[in-house]
């Protein structure tokens, strides 16, 4: 299994510094809903400390955790792809401190600085590929377990 890709450490220094000019620090208390599936994806975060659970609503009253993120992880990628709506919900599992980025400001800087834009898109793509690999592994594990139980 490959190691998780961290957005800020994966970007070349010059591009990272330019991106960080757009960051501002935010915090979320434990149990705070950060965003809901279907909502407008107009920002993203890099988690500095704490933990966030990504979830999917499966019934009117039940959410299922589909992923967990921690320090250094990118929270939110839907801002980069049409239709710019969140695919999952996100909730602070503990007190969370993060760098927040306004998507429109980041996209505008990417137009001005194509190297930053290319670096950012490549890094987000690597992060998504890694998360897909992890999810695939979990699904195969669950399948193996359920087959062992005769389900």
- 146 by Cβ neighbours in 10 Å (0-12 / 13-18 / 19+) ranks as exposed
Dist CA 98 CA 79 (whole Å): 17
Instruction: Please name which of 54, 56, 119 lies closest in space to residue 92, comparing C-alpha atoms.
Output: 54
With 0.85 as the threshold, say if the pTM is over it. Answer: yes
Domains and CATH numbers, the chain: 7-148 (2.60.120.10)
Question: pLDDT tens digits for 20-58?
Answer: 999 999 999 999 999 999 999 999 999 999 999 999 888
Q: What is the DSSP string of 5-19?
A: P-HHHHS-HHHHHHH
Going by pLDDT thresholds of 50, 70 and 90, the confidence category of residue 2 is: low
Average pLDDT, the chain: 91
pLDDT digits (tens, 9 = 90+) for 108-120: 999 999 999 999 9
């Amino acid at each position: 299994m490959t190691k998780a890709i961290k957005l800020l450490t994966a970007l070349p220094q010059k591009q990272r510094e330019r991106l960080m000019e757009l960051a501002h620090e935010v915090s979320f208390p434990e149990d705070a809903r950060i965003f809901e599936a279907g909502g407008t994806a107009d920002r993203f975060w890099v988690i500095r400390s704490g933990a966030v659970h990504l979830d999917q609503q499966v019934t009117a009253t039940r959410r299922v955790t589909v992923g967990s993120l921690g320090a250094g992880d990118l929270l939110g990628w839907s801002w980069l792809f049409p239709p710019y709506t969140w695919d999952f919900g996100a909730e602070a599992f503990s007190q969370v401190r993060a760098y927040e980025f306004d998507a429109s400001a980041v996209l505008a800087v990417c137009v001005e600085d194509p190297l930053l834009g290319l670096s950012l898109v490549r890094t987000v793509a690597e992060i998504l590929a890694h998360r897909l690999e992890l999810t695939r592994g979990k699904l195969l594990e669950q399948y193996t377990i359920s087959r062992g139980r005769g389900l």
